[in-house]
Amino acid sequence: MQNTVPVLVPIPTEGPYSYGVPEGMSLAPGDLVKVPLGSREVTGVVWEGNETGVDPKKLRLVNEKHDCPPLVEDLRRFIEWVAGYTLSPPGMVLRMVLRAPAAYEPPAALEGLVYSGVEPERLTKARSAVMELIVDGAPWTRSGLAHAAGVSTSVVNGLMKMGVLDTVALPAKPLLAAPDTGFSKAELTVEQQSAAKQLSAAVAADEFSVTLLEGITGSGKTEVYFEALAACFEAGRQALILLPEIALTATFLDRFENRFGVRPGEWHSELAPKMREKVWRQVTTGELRVVAGARSALYLPFKELGLIIIDEEHDLAYKQEDRVFYNARDMAVVRGQISKLPVVLCSATPSLESRVNANLGRYKHVELENRFGEAILPDLSTIDMRRDPPPRGRFLSPVLTSAVGETITRGEQVLLFLNRRGYAPLTLCRVCGHRFQCNNCSAWLVEHRFRKQLQCHHCGEARPVPEHCPECGTFDHLVACGPGVERLAEEVLDQFPDARTIILSSDMAGGVKRMRLELAAIARGEADIIIGTQLVAKGHHFPMMTLVGVVDADIGLSNGDPRAAERTFQLLYQVTGRAGRSGGKSMGLLQSYQPDHPVITAIASGDVEGFYARETEARRVSTLPPFGRLAAIIVSGHDRRETEDYARALRKMCPTMDGVRVLGPAEAPMALVRSRYRYRLLVHSGRGFEMQDWLRKWFAAAPKPRGSVRVQVDVDPQSFV
Ligand code: ADP
Ligand code: ZN
């Protein structure tokens, strides 16, 4: 009987398929192999356990084994775990690992030239220039040698033909040198030292642990976790740093380089394919010692990972809501558990989940309570917009406007924060009241004046701003309702025509490159007023900024999301924390129409503990996470009727059991997205409930969705739209 192996392939199947092993090929679990799949050839991974799927009579052979280190066992177990937890096919999780096709084979070796010992026939001047360089026996590249000797490559080619030069394979250069832990150590404060010691101890213990590093903005969390990284490098292990917006964190890369003498490897969606391949390959071979990346970096095949750091652990960007729905922060903790390594979660405003885990002693809690150096937290206060409203058609209260004026007169920087892209969130016709709505989504179109477009922020549909109303035909009667950053910029320009004003929002022309430049310019003090969406709230260090004005602190307080209060608190705390990071007095002003709201008062009074205590209690009472569990089920399809019918049929089949409730189906708040109608079901249970087992039973009993109907499961949902 022929030998067979189970191979997991990156497609949505329940388990590995069987393949035959050709004579002479020896395979072990973790090996990367090329296998035929239908009419294609794909790369899969040799698995252990039982194979399913392919009829033994039709068994096809493995085509080829890649010349690549195997996926380590921890990573294989992690893939299975994520698949089980998120109710995704393991092949789809594997697909997140296999993200760099050309990296499964070693890079082509560079051709090098060495002296063979044969004398050239005739020693011309050009030839002797070459000879002088090669006699010591070290290899050269062809062009390098010609260039150094100051001759044309034809001279070098001639010497090769004569047999004076032999070719050898040069090893590929590592992408980046190993970090140098002694390169430039910061002198830590006493408080920082004690925190760094605790993190380094966790690394030295070389076992699974989770530490929550909580420190106010500007307290030096990065400096502290750099010491944990140093301990990890010294122990000969690789490290992974997850960042919420890697494309924007040029300053982080610089800081890392200042500390360790080299940059970390980068991993994010904007990485060029060649670079992606190098990083992937060198992570598996162990040549690359550290990667800073977005959430997908969690699936990189590290050879000997020793530490995972998750910066801004509360950030929503860690949640993927597409194909496999997962939270990289939570999955990082799982990877730590499986691989028995320390995980460090950092934040000034931890998620309630992490905070509760720390309070209950499940996580270690390391705190930094002071800003570094002279820096002190800004004075925060609320502007009651009912008492000090802005002039008609404007959005800045006179109180905020005069504070802006005073700040820039002193030569200091202002950040005006408004979490709305574009010119106005809603455009309507003054005559007939027609509202511009997306054809594919239940969303208003947002006017972007710079681009002269109306845009849908959900599906990207864009159309030119029409000259007349499509309903009543009136010309020039379209009005903008509400502010976006572009409209705010108009107001600022009008009030402060001489100020250097920059708008920063994620959809800005020029993309990440331009954004990095602008952020660096702001840090150097080359702007007076910065108008920005949430992308400026995160982690940036702007030394000259002394005033942060939050234009609409109420956005997000009443959107039906159980985490609305927590999110608003985190965002406002982070954004006001941009002020006063290098000594001197600084201020945060929050414009609000409901200044007595508990979130707004907690921010303004700086009562962080009180906020967490109240919010924890509220979650406990209603058994919301982390005291209970949630899973969302989203049924979507092109036909509204068919979609709704299926959602109802699905609901009928759910197994009844004590301790679990199913809500819905209800039309989703975003009832139509990209031309798909959406219905939501929400499962709510206590903490100990075996949610996944129960869900699997349910789906097994449910009818298969037909036509365009699709079911997505979101365990631990962060979004409820
Ligand atoms: P956080 O991440 O907690 O907001 P950072 O690590 O960004 O704080 O530190 C804030 C600023 O203070 C940075 O510019 C950092 O370089 C500086 N800083 C913090 N600790 C030290 C230190 N021990 N020595 C020198 N500079 C420090
Ligand atoms: Zn749309």
For the cut 90, the answer to whether the pLDDT of residue 70 exceeds it is: yes
Determine the pLDDT at residue 548.
95
Topology classification of domain 123-170: Arc Repressor Mutant, subunit A (1.10.10)
Q: pLDDT band at residue 364, thresholds of 50, 70 and 90?
A: very high
Write out the H or E segment, with its range, that includes residue 366. Answer: strand 364-368
Task: Please choose from 221, 222, 310, 315 the residue to mutate so as to test ligand 1's pocket, defined by most ligand atoms within 8 A of CB.
Answer: 222
The ligand placed nearest to the CA atom of residue 227 is 1
Residue 536: the pLDDT is 83
Right CATH for 190-368 from 3.40.50.300, 3.30.420.40, 3.40.50.970, 3.40.50.1000: 3.40.50.300
The pLDDT value recorded for residue 218 is: 86
| pLDDT at residue 243 greater than cutoff 90 | yes
The string of pLDDT tens digits covering residues 576-617 is 888 888 777 899 999 999 999 989 999 898 888 999 999 999
Say what the pLDDT of residue 551 is: 96
Given this structure, which CATH class describes domain 4-98? alpha beta
Residue 451 has pLDDT above 70, yes or no: yes
Is the per-residue pLDDT at 37 higher than 60?
yes
At 80, the amino acid letter reads: E
Pairwise CA distance, residues 123 & 135, whole Å: 14
Lowest mean pLDDT among 60-74, 327-341, 551-565, 629-643: 551-565
Q: Is 215 in the pocket of ligand 1 (CB under 6 A)?
A: yes
Our answer on whether the CB atom of 227 is closer than 6 Å to any ligand 1 atom is no
pLDDT tops 80 at residue 174: no
Looking from the CA of residue 221, the nearest atom of ligand 1 is 3
| Amino acid present at 226 | F
Say yes or no: CB of residue 95 within 6 Å of ligand 1: no
- Residues 6+ away with beta carbon under 8 Å from 404: 396, 414, 416, 492, 495, 496, 529, 547, 549
Say if CB 40 and CB 63 are below 8 A apart.
Answer: no
User: How does DSSP classify residue 348?
Assistant: S
Return the pLDDT at 404: 97
Q: Counting atoms of ligand 1 from 1, which one is nearest the CA of 375?
A: 12
User: Which residues have a Cβ under 8 Å from the Cβ of 587 and sit 6 or more positions away?
Assistant: 378, 379, 380, 381, 403, 546, 547, 548, 579, 580
Tokens of 214: 């909580």
* pLDDT exceeds cutoff 90 at 136: no
- pLDDT: is 19 or 581 the higher one? 19
CB of 222 closer than 6 A to ligand 1?
yes
Q: How many A from CA of 219 to the centre of ligand 1?
A: 6
> Residue 1: pLDDT above 60?
no
Predicted pLDDT at 580: 84
CATH code, 628-715: 3.30.70
* Residue pair 532/492 in contact by the 8 Å Cβ criterion: no
Q: Which of 376, 541, 574, 582 to mutate to test the pocket of ligand 1 (most atoms within 8 A of CB)?
A: 541
Q: What is the pLDDT of residue 2?
A: 61
Average pLDDT score, the chain: 91
- Topology of 379-420+483-617 in CATH? Rossmann fold (3.40.50)
Start-end of CATH 3.30.70 domains in the chain: 628-715
The ranges of the chain annotated as CATH 3.40.50.300 are 190-368, 379-420+483-617
CATH 3.40.1440.60 maps onto the chain at 4-98
Nearest CA to ligand 1 atom 25: 186
Q: Cα 451 vs. chain centroid, distance in angstroms?
A: 27
Q: Are 413 and 542 in contact (CB under 8 A)?
A: yes
The fraction of the chain above a pLDDT of 90, given in percent, is 64
| Cis omega (within 30 of 0) for bond into 22 | no
Q: What is the pLDDT of residue 171?
A: 72
The residue-averaged pLDDT of 424-447 equals 88
